[in-house]
Each structure stands twice: as C-alpha cells, then as structure tokens.
Amino acid sequence: MNTALSGERPTDHPTEEVLATAREAAARCEAEAPVGLAVVSGSLAMGLGHALSDLDLYIARADGSAAPGRTFSIGSRTVQVTPLDTAKLRQLVDHAAGFRVESKDRSQLSLSMSDGKLLLRLANGTLLGADPAHRALFDALDRETVRKLAILRHACFAVELQEDVHGAITSGDLVTAMASSHRALLHALESGIGGVGEVYDHEKVALRRLGRHPGTAHLLDSAWALLNCGLALDAPPEELAAVARRRALLTSHLIGYAVLLGWDAPAAALPPFRVGQDGPLRRYDYGLLRFANGIALTGRDHGARVTEPMARLWLALDGRPLRELASSPALEGLSVPPDTLRAALRKLSDIGAADVPAAAR
C-alpha cells in the first residue's frame, strides 16, 4: 500500500475484502487484454465509503489501447472500472514533478476538475499490479508535490472567499457573508488536513477525515459548530456577522499552519483553535499563501510578500494578550526582541492585516 500521503490515516484500509474484490475485477479485465496498471482508490479504498459506495478501479492496458469503462458486480460490491490512458498518466506525473507555483505563475494549479481528481486518486491509490513501465510511472508520481498543490489550491479559493466575507458584511449582505464563510471554511479544512499529510478529492468527507486524524481531531468540535451553527435567517445581523468572522478566522488558522508548519513535511498535528479578546488579532479577511518563490500575506485584493517569521507572527495573533504571544505554537523556536515585535505589529496594523490595541504597538 502506498503510504506517502497517509499521515495518520487508519492503516487497515483498503481492507482485505476491498482488495480481494478489486483484484477479482482486475483479473476480469486481464482476461480481456493484458493490464499494464491496476490501481484501487476512492472512498472505499480509503475507509471513507458508505453503504452505497462503488469501489473504484483504474486500469491501463499494457499495449496502450483504450480499455472500456465498465461496471462489475462482485459479491455485495459494485466495482466501477475507469480506463486510464498511459499518456494521461505520464502527463500527470510530469505535471506534479516538483512544486513550482509562483505568485505570478499559478499555471500548475490549473488542472481541470477531472484531471485534478484523477491526480489525487492516483496519489492515494493502492497498486494492485503493473508491468515495469507502468510501475515506474506510478512510482515516479511526486506525492509530496500533489499534497502541496492540494493545500495551495484550496487556500487560494479560501482567501478569495474571505475577502468576500468582509465585503458582504460591510455591505450588510449577511446571507452572502454566511455562504462565503461556509465555503471558505470547507476549503480550509482540505488545506488543514493536507497539512497533516492527507488529501482527498471530495469535500463531503472533510469533517469525517478531520475527526479521524489524531492531528486534527481536536478541531472537529469547532469546525462542526461553525459550519452547523443553527442560526435562523432572521437572526440579528451582529450574530450572523460574528459567525462569519469566526469561520474566516478558523480558515486562516487551518491554512496558516498547513503552509507554515506542515509544508516541508506533514505536521504531526495542527494546534488548537482559539480566539482571545485581550490582544492583537489577525484580520479575518487576510490569509497566507505559499509559493515556490515566497510567502504572501493577502487580503482585500492586496498581497505582499512576507518573511516566514513575519508570517508566523501574523498567524500567532489570535487575540491572546501580548505577554502570552511567545507561547503561540506559530512562534515556536523563534526569539523576537520586544522592540522588533512591536515594530512588526505596527506594520501589520498599518497594512490592515491585524487589529492591534494601541498599548501593544
């Protein structure tokens, strides 16, 4: 089983029953024409399926000819066989050959929805069998690059939506603020879970994945409460705005720690989420993005390249009192002299990226 993206994912998936079913389907395909590659992936293979989920099998023929898509019924399972073109496999391997997204060249994020899904399915897939040529291609897929692309892709969507939250609240459009913050947080869940090593191709199981990974399970209560807050449409505007802002703050928490502490390698865990009342607080409509050529702090249609220490300081601004700021997980290992800290806080305040009490400047 490929474990490069597994993080702390349960190790009993795919189950032996799922593997046996997939092998039977692959054998049926082999009886028709030599199979060059057989990979099982999808929700059932990752332990995320439900009672009606199909088992997804990807097949490439050894001679490169087009394999037919088909469905098998094997025992109690329905197996969906998806043909995999060898040229497409090679294209996706080349696409993920090293992370190279830059702030002004984001073309590596521009895969179509279908190709993006296939790339994630291959990265998460369990190899059932392959000839030497296809095995070399499958092994060449850079799963760490796939992880980083998934984190950044969702982060880019989330940051745009965080800006929409601010604009909608300012305009008094609380319906749009709630919708935008909901979508932003769903994207951020994907980035956050990617930060601890697991990526997937459908948001429907994001909360389930968040809750089953020991590095993110402690965040499930906060995410669930904010996504399912139970507010009525005619709730007081200030209550709706407060939920939208808090969703956006959790969004920046998840993405920030993914691109800072979970970037070079998956983090063991993301820190707990908190919002204090007594100290500097990062703006809810700003977020961090990480590119091959640096880190950007972006919001309100503006973006600025920042150093990693400055990015970590911004992320640490969760409302805790200034005297407690050094205890933030975002600043672990950093020693910031008081004068330097206050100067940085003034700069973040001046560009509108943080609300900093006068006493902390």
Which tokens sit at 53?
């989920």
- pLDDT at residue 251 tops 50: yes
Task: Please check whether residues 195 and 294 belong to one and the same domain.
Answer: yes
**Total domains present in the chain:** 2
Mean of pLDDT values over 128-146? 97
The answer as to whether 4 is a domain residue is no
Q: Which of 92, 124, 141 is the C-terminal boundary of a domain?
A: 141
335 and 204 in a common domain: yes
Question: Quick one: pLDDT band at residue 300, thresholds 50, 70, 90?
Answer: confident
Task: Record the tokens describing residue 270, joined without a space.
Answer: 């993301």
State whether 164 and 60 are in the same domain: no
- Alpha carbon distance 137, 2 (integer Å): 14
The answer to whether residues 180 and 311 belong to one domain is yes
Residue 286 and residue 178 in one domain: yes
The three-point CA angle 4-208-160 to 5° equals 85
Q: Is the CB of residue 289 less than 8 Å from the CB of residue 156?
A: yes
**What is the extent of the structural domain holding 127?**
16-141
Q: Does one domain contain both 182 and 112?
A: no
Q: Are residue 170 and residue 152 in the same domain, yes or no?
A: yes
Does residue 7 fall inside a structural domain? no
The DSSP secondary structure of 81-141, one letter per residue, reads EEE--HHHHHHHHHHTSS---BTTB-GGG---HHHHHHHHHHHH-EEEEE-HHHHHHHHH-
In a domain, 6, yes or no: no
- What pLDDT band is residue 358 in, cutting at 50, 70 and 90? confident
Chosen domain end from 79, 107, 141: 141
What is the predicted pLDDT for the residue at 4?
31
Return the pLDDT at 11: 60
- For 19-76, how does the pLDDT look when each residue is reduced to its tens digit (9 = 90+)? 999 999 999 999 999 999 999 999 999 999 999 999 999 999 999 888 889 999 999 9
Boundary-marking domain end, from 126, 141, 156: 141
Q: Is the CB of residue 36 less than 8 Å from the CB of residue 60?
A: yes
Same domain, 38 and 76: yes
Of the candidates 156, 172, 66, the residue with the CA atom closest to the CA atom of residue 109: 156
* Mean pLDDT (whole number) for 236-262: 98
- pLDDT at residue 302, as a whole number: 82
Measuring CA to CA, how many Å separate 334 from each of 30, 325, 330? 57, 11, 9
Looking up residue 197, the CATH number of its domain turns out to be 1.20.120.330
Pairing of strands 126-130, 286-291: unpaired
Structure tokens at 168: 């909608």
Structure tokens at 237: 């505007």
Note whether residue 30 is domain-resident: yes
- Whether 134 and 157 map to the same domain: the answer is no
Average pLDDT, the chain: 94
CA geometry: angle at 308 spanning 222 and 323, to 5°? 60
Q: Decide which of 104 and 66 is more confident.
A: 104
Task: Give the model's pLDDT for residue 2.
Answer: 30
Residues 218 and 352 in one domain: yes
| Statement: residue 276 has pLDDT above 70 | yes
User: Which residue, chain included where needed, has tokens 């601010």?
Assistant: 166
Q: Could you tell me the pTM of the whole model?
A: 0.94
Residue pair 48/38 in contact (Cβ under 8 Å)? The answer is no
pLDDT in tens, 190-235: 999 999 999 998 899 999 999 999 999 999 999 999 999 999 999 9
- Residue 110 in any domain: the answer is yes
